[in-house]
Amino acid sequence: MLNRYQASVLSFLFERIPLQDEVDSMEFSLAGTFSGKFQAAHCAIDLLDRTARIVFNLPNYSHSVFLALTRQDPIETARVLANLEDYQRERSLQFRLGEAVVLQDQWPGHSNAPHAALLLRASTSSDCKNVPDSHDISGTDTSFFLVVPLTAEEIKLRNLRGYDALITDFIVGDKGIFF
């Protein structure tokens, strides 16, 4: 069961993203001492490539919605997004656009997880072009981020030469945004 806020987030996304009718939701716990449950959803997205799915968390412990495009198991991608929400919960912080979060150091048990995640505007993906950076949902200022996986080399480049150098490298290397 979704709470009112989560249902409102889902409705908001349905209005702005070309989601197909059938949305699968999931609830799970993460490893560690925190006993809370995390919610996520995934569905096919209307792309030319029918193997693509969009995965997003339905926030329980933050006011951030993390969206990711994937061609792999949506459950693994959902766990990465839940870990981002848990990271915010543990540290009582809010992420900013352009921020990179190292995943392997924080959650070493997730061998399928990318080394890091870059948080971009949802509208970076043309499929999410109608999703704003933030929006008031049920009286809560909610932030939206497109999560892009980063390799160890990419996070090193960002740390040494900055965000602009990383984005230039993305363009030159035709970096994909899919998990």
Q: What is the pLDDT along the chain (179 residues), one digit of tens a residue?
A: 789 999 999 999 999 998 877 899 999 899 888 999 999 999 988 665 567 899 999 999 999 999 999 988 899 999 999 999 999 999 999 999 999 999 865 545 555 668 999 999 999 998 899 999 999 999 999 999 999 999 999 999 999 999 899 999 998 988 888 99
First to last CA, the chain: 27
Q: Which amino acid is at 105?
A: D
Q: Which residues pair with 149 in a beta bridge?
A: 117
The CB-based long-range contact list for 46-54 (8 Å cut-off, 24+ gap) reads 46/18, 46/19, 46/20, 46/127, 47/127, 52/178, 54/17, 54/19, 54/127, 54/128
Residue 44, classed as helix, strand or coil, is strand
Enclosing H/E stretch for 95: none
- Contact at 8 Å (CB) between 64 and 97? no
Fill in the DSSP letter of residue 33: S
Spatial separation of the C-alpha atoms in residues 148 and 135, rounded to whole Å: 21
